[in-house]
Structure 1
Amino acid sequence: MRGLKKKRRIQVILVAFVALAVSTGLIGYAMRDGINFFRSPSQIADTPPAPTEVFRIGGLVEEGSLVRGQGETVRFNVTDGGAVVPVTYRGVLPDLFAENQGMIGTGRLVDGVFEASEILAKHDESYMPKEVVDALKEQGVYRDAEGEAPNGS
């Protein structure tokens, strides 16, 4: 009787372990398309991602680079002060999208051009995504809402 209880307990533990491993694998498989890593233009220039990798790019829309093409196609450059990445987007841009403003785009880098499938723009006068602020601070070009560099520089 004692041996049967021990055997049953081991079987329950093994089944629970297998169920946990399978559920963890299924969660990871389901999330593989939903995870988009953020990269700044400088990081993309240093180590370009594979053309099949979907990621997010963020920075400032470069002054004078916004060109509206045929139909809904838009071309512009994104910069963090250290590097510039050309971007193409087919669709309607957010209302607050403008040159010298922060943006984040989701898409792929194909032949050196970021092909965006989604563009997000800042939502008020002072907001900029944390990742973009960090990338701009790293390059030493971040300006706060009043246009001043941090620490009075």
Structure 2
Amino acid sequence: MQEQRLKPRHKRLALIVGGLAILAIAATLVLNAFQSNLVFFFSPTQVAAGEAPKGKNFRIGGMVKDGSLQREADGVTMRFIVTDTDQEMAVAYKGILPDLFREGKGVVAQGKLGENGVFAASEVLAKHDENYMPPEAAKAVGDAHERAAINKATAEAAAKTLKP
């Protein structure tokens, strides 16, 4: 019997198909890894509005409310409130807070929203100098100030129209 060989054209086609299959598998693995590591940022107002994902990691940012920092009885868990001046979000963090973490300063925490409405942080990031606030937190606070100004202007306009 004579051995049947592939024609050069068929060999090239097989190599191209095999290369495309390997490329598709590699692209799928890279995109899957990227998707699983993607973490979105939400302000306390967005979380209160239900925009944050349930059961998935995300970041929350704003200012640490003055007087809200408390140490739990276990000595390791810290609780504090993050605010964007419009809404507040309770945060629990088990571990050592960064040296630059302070009440009244900007913070971004990464973690999941618990069933009890408390944000369980796995990581806390603090500002790195006096004038710095994380961009996401600065935007959230700015947006909250804009909403407050609009609400105030609307209330004043309504009060003027109601006066005889």
- Scaled to the shorter chain, the TM-score interval is 0.7 to 0.9
Structure 1 residues 74-125: Cα deviation after superposition (integer angstroms, max 9, x where no partner): 1111111221110001111111111110001111000211000111100110
Overall identity of the aligned pairs, in % = 43
Aligned partner of 1:7 among 10, 16, 24: 10
Within-5 A mapping of 1:32-43 = 32-43=35-46
Amino acid at match of 2:107: M
Work out the CA distance in 2 between the residues paired with 1:72 and 1:33: 29
Secondary structure, in 3 states, of the residue corresponding to 2:98?
Answer: coil
Q: Provide structure 1 residue ranges, at least 5 long, that are not aligned to the other structure.
A: 142-153
Aligned position for 1:148: none
Structure 1 residues 30-77: Cα deviation after superposition (integer angstroms, max 9, x where no partner): 334422111111111112421x20111111111221112221111111
Aligned partner of 1:72 among 70, 76, 79: 76
Amino acid at match of 2:30: I
Aligned position for 1:61: 64
Runs of 4+ residues over 4 Å off in structure 1:
none
Aligned position for 1:27: 30
Name whichever structure is richer in helix by fraction. Answer: 2
Max Rg structure: 2
- TM-score of the two chains, using structure 2 as the length reference: 0.77
Aligned position for 2:129: 124
Is residue 140 from structure 1 mapped to residue 153 from structure 2 by the alignment?
Answer: no
Aligned position for 1:88: 92
Q: Provide structure 2 residue ranges, at least 5 long, that are not aligned to the other structure.
A: 1-5, 147-164
Number of residue pairs matched by the alignment: 138
Secondary structure, in 3 states, of the residue corresponding to 1:140?
Answer: helix
Give the drift of 1:29: 3.0
Aligned partner of 2:20 among 17, 26, 30: 17
